[in-house]
Amino acid sequence: MIFIVVKFKVKPESAETFVEATRPFTEATRAEAGNLWFDWSRSLEDANEFVLVEAFEDGAAEAHVGSDHFAAGLQAMRPHLVETPRIISRQIEGDGWDAMGELQIG
């Protein structure tokens, strides 16, 4: 699978509207064939930083990046951002989340 984490630093005045501004992009991506997950979080240390954790089946990320909603999503984000987002994108083994061996519950 392709595993991707992206950090977005948003303008302080956009911190409360960023999620709504990205909603159409998020919903379209989650509906894509080959999308395994597309989950937003907000930093506990910096209220102006959002973190996107996403994964795609092998080969599906290319279709995502080439989609119309990807281009529209970038345009929707652009006016809210302070700087270029930082990304980690890697091909990894597996097709989903595993249970944490060091912290078993139940």
Average pLDDT over residues 40-66: 94
Q: pTM, whole model, 2 decimals?
A: 0.93
Q: Which two tokens stand for residue 99?
A: 């249970």
| pLDDT band at residue 61 using 50, 70 and 90 as cut-offs | confident
Per-residue confidence (pLDDT) for residue 59, from 0 to 100: 86
Which run of H or E residues covers position 64?
helix 60-65
Helix (H, G, I), strand (E, B) or coil at 2: strand
Distances in whole angstroms, Cα of residue 82 to Cα of each of 9, 48, 76, 93: 6, 9, 14, 34
Residues in the chain: 106
Full strand arrangement of the beta sheet holding 86-91: 35-42, 49-56, 2-9, 86-91
d(Cα 9, Cα 41) in Å, to the nearest integer? 12
Give the model confidence (pLDDT) of 70-94 as tens digits. Answer: 999 999 999 999 999 999 999 999 9
Average pLDDT over residues 3-21: 97
2-83 CATH choice from 3.30.70.100, 3.40.605.10, 3.40.630.30, 3.30.470.20: 3.30.70.100
- Please check whether residue 86 is in contact with residue 7, taking contact to mean a CB–CB distance below 8 angstroms: yes
Residue 40 main-chain phi, psi, to 5 deg = -95, 145
